[in-house]
Amino acid sequence: MPGVLQLRERGVRGVILSYVDTAGINRIKTVPLSRLEHAVQWGVGISPVFDVFLADDSTTSTDRLGGPDGDLRLRPDLDRLVVLAGQPGWAWAPADRFTQEGEPWIADQRGFTRRMVSRAAAEGLSFRTAIEVEWAVGRDEDDFVAACRGPAYGMTRLVELSDYARDVLIALEEQGVQVEQLHPEYAAGQFEVSIAATDPLGAADDNVLVRQTIRAVSHRHGLRASFAPVVLAGRVGNGGHVHLSAWRDGANLFTGFPSSAGGFAAAGILAHLPALLAVGAPTPASYLRLVPSRWAGAFACWGVETRETALRFVPGTAGLAGAANLEVKCFDLTANPYLLLGALVAAALDGLAGRRPLPEPVAGDPTNLPDAPRLPTTLDAAVDAFAADETLREALGTTLFDAVVAVRRAEAARFRDADPEEVAAALRWVY
Ligand code: GLU
Ligand code: MG
């Protein structure tokens, strides 16, 4: 990371300390550059109540969290500090939370990813992950009006938003984010960017940074970006597909899939998938997206290059070494990426430890199968599966696990009587 003097030379005046709460909302504190070193050493105050904040800024509670008492210290991780291209004068750093005694906070979401990465390393394993980002570009209005016209995947869209899309690429590149591709997607005004795979902590950081960069560039162009699962009910939504591979001694366990250890890892993820939805599809809006025939992965099965199953095995192009991976399609970008990638690692490790057998793959559209296994179709059902999942409880630790359950139940309750249009409208510009 550049030193304070270099940051000042690059025009930085303020540093953003970025934290993602249990509801998946990016909350922040900032310090002037002159206070950065102090913030690194001592942290800045942040209430533990954010662990049980909801997407509308109300709070819920668990037996340990949610009161007005207590304070934590938020410390920026300088290894990931970047100078923001879309917000001149600002640098950004993901931050970790500590107790006032200097211990890592037990319910810290980023700390959870770190723990799962260390747990894998103790078994001689590492994971490479990437989260695809889909978003809808709208005009700067509360209703969603697509900012461009033209067919899905079509050149017309890029012509109309040519400068905008270029500025997204420039900003991400200047921030050291490795973009693999950017393209117009299916839904009106929808685009997608794919990012190179890296370790889970880095991929979660990238995911937060990429979304906030797209948001900032959109704003500078007088546009509005939505990463919500659906911007309009009943239409194709925004996914947050996760690509994942597991490595031991420099070898990709997904090579030779499914009759390799990668098959055990995939079986672990498949077995925990209904519960994982409470982490990766955490809002009522998630279930408006997660329906058949929208390539959202609504079925609890796997296939080779199948875009309708929740798990799509990607063998990789012949000759491209190490490219085999598993794409988990059912998740969206309302997820806290730290919780999601940590939980996926926990599920994969569980599959590997138990040498869990992988069921037969599905070919074609699962809708045509007589007994195609649907994933939970409501947030309530996903939370029930999560609340009963002892593997995830042990991995997250009770404090964080209970916070996830409480936040999800409260989000479900908040929209109990809402129709799909109301759900979509309420979350459209929050995520
Ligand atoms: N937009 C789809 C979703 O909701 C995904 C389309 C694709 O396969 O990239 O996940
Ligand atoms: Mg896509």
pLDDT (0 to 100) of residue 320: 86
Provide the 8-state DSSP code for 97.
Answer: E
Q: Looking at domain 116-133+173-182+192-427, does it have CATH number 3.40.50.300? A: no
Please indicate whether the domains covering 4-106 and 116-133+173-182+192-427 agree at the CATH topology level.
Answer: no
State which ligand 1 atom lies nearest to the alpha carbon of 192. 9
Q: State the distance from the centre of ligand 1 to the C-alpha of 183, rounded, in angstroms.
A: 12
Of 238, 330, 365, the residue with max ligand 1 atoms within 8 A of its CB, to mutate for a pocket test, comes to: 238
User: Could you state, in order of their start, the residue ranges of all structural domains in the chain?
Assistant: 4-106, 116-133+173-182+192-427
Dump pLDDT digits (tens) for 18-41: 999 999 999 999 999 999 999 999
Pocket probe for ligand 1: among 182, 236, 243, 286, the residue whose CB has the most ligand atoms within 8 Å is 236
Atom of ligand 1 nearest to the CA of 329: 10
CA of 350 to the centre of ligand 2 (A): 29
Q: Could you tell me the distance, in angstroms and rounded to a whole number, from the CA of residue 190 to the centre of ligand 2? A: 9
- Which ligand number lies closest to the CA of residue 307? 1
Ligand 1 nearest-atom number relative to CA 239: 10
From 38-42, 123-127, 258-262, 398-402, the region with the lowest mean pLDDT: 258-262
Q: In percent, how much of the chain has pLDDT > 70?
A: 100
Assess contact for 378 and 418: CB atoms under 8 A: no
Q: Which of 96-100, 236-240, 316-320, 410-414 has the lowest mean pLDDT?
A: 316-320
3-state secondary structure of 154: coil
Cα separations in angstroms, 377 against 47, 64, 287, 303, 381:
34, 30, 6, 20, 7
Confidence of residue 2 (pLDDT cuts 50, 70, 90): confident
Q: Which protein residues have a CB closer than 5 Å to ligand 2 (ion)?
A: 192
The pick from 241, 299, 309, 332 for probing ligand 1's pocket by mutation, whose C-beta has the most ligand atoms within 8 angstroms, reads 241
* Average pLDDT of the segment spanning 404-411: 98
Average pLDDT over residues 340-349: 98
CA of 190 to the centre of ligand 1 (A): 10
In angstroms, rounded to a whole number, what is the distance separating the alpha carbons of residues 159 and 108? Answer: 43
Give the model confidence (pLDDT) of 104-118 as tens digits: 999 999 999 999 999
24: phi > 0 → left, psi -120 to 50 → alpha, else beta; which?
left
* Atom 8, ligand 1: residue with shortest CA distance: 295
- Which tens digit of pLDDT belongs to each residue from 242-292? 999 999 999 999 999 988 899 999 999 999 999 999 999 999 999 999 999
This prediction has a pTM of: 0.98
What would the pLDDT profile of 156-180 be if each residue is shown by its tens digit? Answer: 999 999 999 999 999 999 999 999 9
Q: Which fold has domain 4-106?
A: Ubiquitin-like (UB roll) (3.10.20)
* Paired tokens of 100: 């006032």
User: Ligand 2 centroid vs 185 CA: distance in angstroms?
Assistant: 6
Q: Looking at the CA of 191, which ligand is closest?
A: 2
Contacts of 15 (CB under 8 A, 6+ apart): 7, 30, 31, 32, 33, 36, 39, 76, 81, 90, 91, 92, 93
Hey, whose CA ends up nearest to atom 6 of ligand 1? Answer: 295
Mean pLDDT computed over every residue of the chain: 97
Tell me the H-state helices in 43-154. 109-122
Tokens representing 134 are 């889909």
The predicted pLDDT at position 318 comes to: 83
Tell me the best of 226, 227, 294, 375 to mutate to test the pocket of ligand 1, counting ligand atoms within 8 Å of each CB and taking the most. 294
Element (H, E) at 287: helix 286-289
Residue 58 Cα to ligand 2 midpoint, Å, equals 32
Give the residue, by CA position, lying nearest to ligand 1 atom 7. Answer: 295
- Length of the chain, please? 431
Do 7 and 33 meet the contact criterion of CB atoms below 8 Å apart? yes
* Tens of pLDDT, residues 177-193: 999 999 999 999 999 99
Mean pLDDT value of segment 377-393? 98
